Amino acid sequence: MYFGGSFSRGDFLFLLSGAVTTLSITLVAVVIGTVLGVLFGLIRAGAPWWIGNTLGAVLDVFRSVPLLIQLVLFNSFNSMLKLNWPTFTVGCICLGIYASAFCTEIVRSGVGAVPQTTRRAARSLGLTWRQELTSITLPIATRIVFPSWIGLTLGVMKDTALVLWIGIVELLRSSQIVTSRVQEPLLILGITGLIYFVMSFPIARLGNQLEKKWGTQ
């Protein structure tokens, strides 16, 4: 077997396959995090204080405990309880809940920033609570918190690197594997960083575009 040698096209493709895993985990985690975050955020913003505060306290745990610890614990529970979920699923759920804890506060602050008088004006026209929420509060809140949500998404993408600790070969793990063979850590980390950047940049740009569009309204 040949050890050492230069960075080859095969290595690059291997890194790209890791990048696909990173993107997949990011996508699933952000979807889970956003759906739960909107749900929890609305509860935090609208439900009686004791429900909202209890939920807030539970989510604070997920926000405060390092993600790495959550991943390892959740993965251990997965084995101990014989759930036998694939590690990919474990990674996605764990990151998704972690993201939802942050997304909840984003949604809560966005809903809170919609003036009460604007909501009243909508109700006074005969809109139901649900109609008011979907036509007035959520669209306005979305515009307000969109930059924070983009920030969360970019954060989750980078946090996916931690799932290598439960055995998922994503982009960072791929780069370690390649490094151990090629022995050019700086080059490979550089390339890996570049791939992360190439994945993040369009999301950030999309955010800017939408903000600009909404800003002209």
Partner 1 sequence: MIAIENVHKQFGALHVLKGVDLSVQKGEVLSMIGGSGSGKSTMLMCINGLEGIQQGRITVDGVEVHAKATDLNKLRRRIGIVFQQWNAFPHLTVLENVTLAPRKVLGKSREEAEVIAVEQLSHVGLKEKLAVFPSRLSGGQQQRMAIARALAMSPDYMLFDEVTSALDPQLVGEVLDTMRMLSKEGMTMIVVTHEMRFAREVSDRVAFFREGRIHEIGSPDQIFENPQQPETAAFLKSI
Residues in touch with partner 1 (CB under 8 A): 115, 117-118, 120-128, 131, 135-136, 139-140, 143, 214, 216-217
Residue 164 to residue 186: CA distance in whole angstroms: 20
Q: How far is the CB of 90 from partner 1 (least distance, A)?
A: 39
Cβ proximity to partner 1, 143 vs 173, nearer residue: 143
Residue 76 to residue 166: CA distance in whole angstroms: 9
Cβ proximity to partner 1, 133 vs 171, nearer residue: 133
Cβ proximity to partner 1, 6 vs 216, nearer residue: 216
Helix then strand then coil, % of the chain, to nearest 5: 85, 0, 15
Q: How far is the CB of 215 from partner 1 (least distance, A)?
A: 10
Nearest to 62 by CA among 109, 101, 106: 101
Cα Dmax for the chain: 77
Cβ proximity to partner 1, 84 vs 216, nearer residue: 216
Q: How far is the CB of 121 from partner 1 (least distance, A)?
A: 4
Residue 207 to residue 200: CA distance in whole angstroms: 11
Q: How far is the CB of 30 from partner 1 (least distance, A)?
A: 23
